[in-house]
Amino acid sequence: MTGAIGWAILIPLGGALLAAAAGERASRWIAALAAAATTCAAIGVAASVARHGPSRHPAGGWLAPLGIELRADGLAATMLLTIAAVAGLVAAHALADRSRAAACARSCPLWLFTWAALDALVVSGDIFNLYVTLELATLAAVGLVADGEGPDAPRAALRYLLFALPGSLLYLLGVALIYGEHGALDPATLGAHVGASAPDTAAMALMTAGLCLKAALFPLHAWPVLAYTRASPVAGALLAGLVGKAAFLVLVRLWLEVYPATFTSAAGPVLGTLAAGAILWGSLHALWQPRLRAVIAYSSVAHTGYLFMWFALGTRDALAGALFVVMSHAAASASMFLATGAIARALGHDRVEGLTGLAHRLPIPFFALALAGTSAMAMPPSSGFVGKWLLVRAAFETGHRLWAAVMLIGGLLAAAYVFRLLRRAFLPRPAGEPIAITRSSGGHAALALALVAIALGLAPGLALDLLRGGSAP
């Protein structure tokens, strides 16, 4: 299955185009088929990496320095599977929802484009190509946000776009400088040549700054929150779960393959400080949000902090931990967004008070929220715990006691804001609250995603072997 990596990108692209051109009913079928086929392609890639280790696929047949090379290594394989799992289940949720059938002609192509962009980003072996994939993911995400019903959807989408654009263009300027200095765009050549010269340092600083802005790392962290809270649940799930992590994955690629030790040792502590700020700021803000979506949005800001903490630690185990946080938070936040969508549709609003005594009226969305919350607060049996454990242990091993303390306090705050939601389940339901229980409360996809987050925590061995099996070159 050498072509699997090509299919993983072309099927969602082709599916999106077909869905855009097809009628109402046809576009739903095309989208469903494309989602299924892309998942198979992702599994194919993972299988080939697990069996034969990393492999390279030059696009168009042109080898590295000139053409663009697609690489299937451990990191790419696990991320492809994560994207397939989360995007697939979110897609199932979107397609299963009869009431928004008409929207599929518009939203199905967009979330397929997002899927294709993320797949392309994860396997891409060319720093300019990473810029194009980031842009495709951003624009498709903006389209999804703009598709929401609320009065605020255009404003949220525009704000999201106008903060994402400078980020990518800063990154592009970095790419331009590096190309000016070394005349190459593939990480292998760059890794060998990039040193500590003025253009290299400026380029790396710009690329890192741009990616930090796009990943909404603290102190530039508030801009995606409005989009998360105003988007429809499907858009919110994809944005917070996957698109929010794209910039981090790009920076990990650069950090591992392109950046020299001189730069990483200098930039590491800076990113560590910003990450610590994100963890504390995000968790504290999530504590007092009156609305459920805002709590999840700020929790995503805090989780971005956990991800970027790896740059301050740098060890291989810490990377496995950070990637586990990516996987667990992708599944958990997507599940929480979908569950919130189902609850908000039944209650008419998503204020936290509405959760009171809800456990028995809407068992499935609430159970999904509880399981996903367990993963969000990184308590054992969840995959969030595995990620945080690896990061905290690496922090102690590398002597960063302060970062370890921040992560542990962050975990405690996370437990606080998750239980602030869950504790209401046991309070009796106030009489006056009407609940429109629709036939399918739409929580099944949310529950499936939450179970993925928990299952990854119970058997992390598989994912860790795949990560190591084809470890990044």
Partner 1 sequence: MTPLLYASSGVAVFAIALYRIFTAGDVLRKIIAANLLGGGVFLILVAIARRPAAGIDPVPHALVLTGIVVSVSATACALALARRLEGTTLDDGDDGDDGSDDTEVAGRGP
Partner 2 sequence: MTALDVLLAGALPVLAWRALATDDLHEAVVFFIALGLVAALAWARLDAPDIALVEAAVGAGVTGSLFVTTLRARGLRPPASPAPRRARIALAVLTIASALGIGAALAALPAEPPGLGELVRASLPETGVQHTVTAVLLNVRGYDTLLEMAVLVAAVLAVLARAPSPSARPAARPAAPDDDPARPLIAVLARLLVPGIILVAGYLLWRGAFAPGGAFQAAAVLAGGGILAILAGRRAPDPHARAVRRGLVFGPGAFVLIAAVPLIAGRHVLEYPEGWAKVLIVAVEVALTFSIALTLVLFFPASGEKGT
Partner 3 sequence: MTLDALLPLAVVLTSLLPGIAIFWLAERDTRLRTTLNLSAAIAKLALVVVIGRGVLAGEIFETRLPFVPGADLVLRADSLSLLFVSLSAVLWLVTTVYAVGYLEGSPHRSRFFGFFSISVASTMGVALAGNLLTFFVFYETLTLSTYPLVVHRGTPEAVRAGDLYLRYTLSGGVLLLTGTAILYAAAGSIEFTAGGVLGELAGRRGLLIAAFALLIAGLGVKAALIPLHTWLPVAMVAPAPVSALLHAVAVVKAGAFGITRVIYDVYGIRLADRLGVTSVLAVVAAATILYGSLKALAQDDLKRRLAYSTVSQVSFIVLGVTVVGKLLTIGGIAHLVHQGLMKITLFFCAGNLAEELGIHGVRELRGAGRRMPLTMIAFTLASLGMIGIPPLAGFVTKWYLGAGAVEVGSSWVIAVLIASSLLNAAYLLPIVRDAWFGEPSAPWPARKGRFEVGLWLLLPTIVTAAASVGVGLFAATKLSPLAMAALIAEREIHP
Contact call for residue 386 and partner 3 (CB under 8 A): yes
Report if residue 173 touches partner 2, rule: CB under 8 A.
yes
Instruction: Return the one option of partner 2, partner 1, partner 3, none that residue 97 interacts with (CB less than 5 to 8 A, by type).
Output: partner 1
Q: What is the DSSP letter of 56?
A: E
Reported as type and span, the H/E element at residue 274 is helix 261-287
Per-residue interface string for the shown chain with partner 3, residues 420-449, x marking contact by CB under 8 A: ---x--xxx---------------------
User: What per-residue string of b and e applies to 201-228 under the rule 16 or more CB within 10 Å gives b?
Assistant: bebbbbbbbbbbbbbbbbebbbbbbbbb
Structure tokens at 350: 């998503």
Q: Output 163 or 385, the one with its CB closest to partner 3.
A: 385
Q: How far is the CB of 187 from partner 2 (least distance, A)?
A: 15
Residue 344 or 407: which CB sits closer to partner 1? Answer: 344
Q: Do residues 287 and 352 lie in contact, with contact meaning Cβ atoms separated by under 8 Å?
A: no
Tell me if 8 sits within 8 A of 38, measured CB to CB: yes
Asked if 419 touches partner 3 (CB under 8 A), the answer is yes
User: Which of partner 2, partner 3, partner 1, none is residue 461 near (CB under 5 to 8 Å by kind)?
Assistant: partner 3
Neighbour count for residue 6 (Cβ, 10 Å): 15
Interface with partner 1 (CB under 8 A), residue from 8, 68, 75, 172: 172
Tokens of 284: 């504290």
Contact 385, 408 (CB under 8 A): no
- Closest approach, Cβ 185 to partner 2, in A, equals 8
Of the pair 33, 139, the CB lying nearest partner 1 is at: 139
Decide: is 396 part of the binding site for partner 3 (CB under 8 A).
yes
Scored b (16 or more CB within 10 A) or e, 47-59 reads ebbeeeebbebbb
In the range 197-256, which residues lie near partner 1 by CB under 8 A?
A: 222, 225-226, 228-235
274 close to 403: Cβ distance less than 8 angstroms: no
Separation between Cα atoms, residue 220 and residue 189, nearest integer Å: 32
CB of 89 to partner 2, least distance (A): 22
Q: Which residues would be at the binding site for partner 2 (CB under 8 A)?
A: 2-3, 5-7, 9-10, 13-14, 16-18, 20-21, 23, 57-62, 65-68, 70, 106, 109-110, 113, 116-117, 120, 126, 128-129, 132-133, 135-136, 139-140, 142-143, 146-147, 153-154, 157, 173, 177, 180-184, 197-199, 201-203, 205-206
